[in-house]
Amino acid sequence: MKTECDTKQKLLDTAMQLIWEQSYGSVSVDHICERAGAKKGSFYHFFPSKSDLAVAAIDGHWQKLRPDLDRIFSSQTAPLERLAGYCDFVYEQQNRQMQKFGRVCGCAFTSLGSELSTQDEKIRKKSLQIMEWRCKYLAAAIRDAVREGLVPEQDCDGKARDLYGSVLGVLLQAKIENDLGIIRHLKPTIFRLIGASEKVITGTPSHQP
């Protein structure tokens, strides 16, 4: 027998799946309830609106990703290896989604944010918050790489935004072309952006004492 907790989680999982599969605007509350096997009254018991469900769904998805990102960006890992690991993580995530949905899905956070940033302030703010969190991981890795002399002095926060913009651009291109192979170009691209040596770009980054 379903508990309230089960019903709420099913609604969250269904919303996230539909965000991957379709655009937010094309999905109705009725559609979400039908896919989740939940009554409309249950939906509004947990979420005042479709917007509130979307915010909760992407926040929940982000919280699931954070342990992996904390591991990848651990200060115990060499900074360039963190960035390389992040590129591999992005590819692996997209590969899993492709196996599940049959196509490259891109970034759910950004897809939702870009679709609704001029229409829904709650979704815009949540998408922006997640973007800023990801940039903090990148900035810390770049800052450590600068400190260790692996890359030139630079505006680490600004460069992190540049890197994240490149990640989003690559994911968008891969989504449009439905080609996972495009994501493989991400690693050399971000190393070039931070001024890593050609040896690092063409090989495996390693910690320099």
Look at residue 209 in the predicted model and tell me its pLDDT.
Answer: 38
Residue 204 has pLDDT above 60, yes or no: no
Look at residue 5 in the predicted model and tell me its pLDDT.
Answer: 79
| Whole-angstrom distance, CA of residue 51 vs CA of residue 69 | 26
**Boundaries of every domain in the chain:** 58-202
pLDDT digits (tens, 9 = 90+) for 86-125: 999 999 999 999 998 899 988 887 877 777 777 788 888 8
pLDDT digits (tens, 9 = 90+) for 117-151: 777 888 888 888 999 999 999 999 999 999 999 99
Architecture per CATH, 58-202: Orthogonal Bundle (1.10)
pLDDT digits (tens, 9 = 90+) for 45-95: 999 998 899 899 889 989 999 999 999 999 999 999 999 999 999 999 999
Q: pTM (2 decimals)?
A: 0.86
Phi, psi at 139, each rounded to 5°: -60, -40
